Amino acid sequence: MRLALSEAERAYEQGEVPVGAVVIQKDRILGRGHNRIEKLNDPTAHAEIIAISAAAESLGHPHLKGATIYVTIEPCPMCAGAIVLARLERLVYGARDPKTGACGTLYDITNDLRLNHRVKVSSGVLENECSQMLSSFFRKLRSKTP
């Protein structure tokens, strides 16, 4: 999770919502990413999507069986869907997302029995640090708003 937090710090420094993600398999980093939505003018450029894409590229195929993704905040519906489609074994996230969380808070896409794959989910890992970074970012953003 510390690596995901480092990615989130990079996003923060670039003026992006500070979310970071890292995909690991057998102690090997397969992919990492941070939000790049504003930089790329791409609403799909979430940290999880970038990390999953990098991991799939690293392995040379789209299925990330046996891999774990670490994310600083609970994934949204798009990212939860990508996690399921990539067949990640496990998701570990820091802060819950009461507005768009799709891994147990608003929805539970990662464990929906109607889908062909389910993901083991662990939440609350370094939750305070993850939450504080997000709070700091939005506090700073609001202070700049006239």
Q: Where are the strands (E) in 96-135, listed by range?
A: 120-122
Q: Which residue among the candidates 13, 48, 57, 129 is catalytic per the annotation?
A: 48
Q: What DSSP state is assigned to residue 130?
A: H
Q: What is the dihedral of CA 72, 102, 61, 10, to 10 degrees?
A: -20
- Concerning whether 74 is annotated as a catalytic residue, the answer is no
Structure tokens at 82: 């990508």
What are the DSSP calls for 53-77, one per residue?
HHHHHHHTSS--TT-EEEEEE---H
Host H or E run for residue 28: strand 28-34
Taking the C-alpha atoms of residue 138 and residue 144, their distance in angstroms, rounded to an integer, is: 10
Residue carrying the six token digits 């710090």 = 9
Which residues are marked as active site?
Answer: 48
